[in-house]
Amino acid sequence: MKKLINDPENVIADALKGIAASDKDVRVDFDNRVIYRAAPKADGKVAIISGGGSGHEPLHGGFVGVGMLDAACAGAVFTSPTPDQMLAATTTVDTGAGVLHIVKNYTGDVMNFEMAAELAADAGIEVSTVVVADDVAVQDSLYTAGRRGVGATVLLEKIVGAAAEEGSDLAAVTAVAQQVADNSRSMGMALTSCTVPSAGKPTFDLPEDEMEIGIGIHGEPGRHREPIADAHSIAEQLVAPILADLDFTGAPVIAMLNGMGGTPLIELYLMYGEVIELLEAAGVTVERNLVGNYITSLDMAGCSLTLLRADDDLLRLWDAPVRTAGLRWGL
């Protein structure tokens, strides 16, 4: 296993140490493995928290900061955080205006966030929840009832963070979150497997001449395997199922071409060039985009495409200032 780590069992604690040292705008609760904004909480602002298994960095911890999350709970690699972590985050960030939980649709995450929300309600904190389930690849999956939650989470955390920052109340913030979740679709692929540190070997075997289409962000099986094709053909296999699932014409679209962690930027730019040609030919107008590593799968080589059917208000929230380790502009 070729990784820059110490003891495989301490990867999360060690990585949190680096996050705390590199981003002076956050503070890390090492006992609960929660990353918070360092600045005192703003009175009356709806708080936004998310979390999930680690191994998807910068998601979620890298998105804590002004204009995005108030806190993120870090689970073990590819493993849901516990309800206790989520409850600690929820009680700490609540200002009395309520807390939104952003949950990727995996059985453990959904169950634990539900439990945390109930415990928070018992403590008198109003919690609403949005479940992200944007992956069109498969209907049910290894860790999922229904679709998996993937790249839309990044776009949702940015947009909803902006809505909370400008003072929207919990009902309005939740409505924006649901709008983004309902209007986002993703599709991914992998050239290689990934290696969970504690396992020490690749999660699955993918022959040197094959790729997997429709892969999940934990290495869950996708739709099928086939011989490695050129970037243009791969782009077609990402774009087509997304456009078949939702009409992206007639509205401004936000696109994310995301790397899985082991793919360099030169290839992501190249893929974006192929994707945008196909989208333009299909009459889809991309008004904003991200190209880079935003929701990764450890060291997996591959990429995913996420499209969000936006409107002028979502674009405005997208453009609002954000200052986090993983996404930053205007501040």
Rounded Cα distance, 23 and 69, in Å: 14
Rounded Cα distance, 245 and 205, in Å: 30
The residues in 36-65 that bind a copy of itself, with binding defined as CB under 8 A, are 54-55, 57-58, 62
* Contact (Cβ atoms closer than 8 angstroms) between residue 298 and residue 196: yes
The residues in 248-287 that bind a copy of itself, with binding defined as CB under 8 A, are 257, 261-274, 276
Q: CA neighbours within 13 Å on the CB side: how many for 96?
A: 3
The size of the chain, in residues, is 331
- Cβ at position 284, least distance to a copy of itself in Å: 13
**Closer CB to a copy of itself, residue 43 or residue 230?**
230
* Interface region with a copy of itself, contact rule CB under 8 A, candidates 103-111, 171-179, 224-232, 307-315: 224-232
**Closer CB to a copy of itself, residue 242 or residue 303?**
303
Please report the sign of the dihedral spanned by the C-alpha atoms of residue 32, residue 34, residue 40, residue 43. Answer: negative
Among 27, 41, 232, 316, binds a copy of itself (CB under 8 A): 232
Among 5, 39, 121, 199, binds a copy of itself (CB under 8 A): 5
Among 303, 314, 317, 320, binds a copy of itself (CB under 8 A): 303
> In terms of Cα–Cα distance, which of 44, 305, 327 is closest to 173?
44
Among 39, 111, 312, 329, binds a copy of itself (CB under 8 A): 329
Catalytic-residue membership of 218? yes
60: cis peptide before it, omega within 30°? yes
Catalytic-residue membership of 232? no
Rounded Cα distance, 89 and 221, in Å: 32
CA 165, 169, 171: angle at the middle one, nearest 5? 125
> In terms of Cα–Cα distance, which of 307, 4, 323 is closest to 185?
307
Among 139, 198, 249, 289, binds a copy of itself (CB under 8 A): 289
Sheet holding 210-213, edge to edge: 224-227, 210-213, 184-190, 302-309, 252-259, 285-292
The residues in 61-120 that bind a copy of itself, with binding defined as CB under 8 A, are 62
30 binds a copy of itself (CB under 8 A): no
Return the active site residues.
Answer: 56, 218
Chain contacts with a copy of itself (rule: CB under 8 A): 2-7, 11, 14-22, 54-55, 57-58, 62, 191-192, 208, 211, 228, 230-232, 234, 257, 261-274, 276, 289, 291, 293, 296, 298-299, 301-303, 323, 325, 328-331
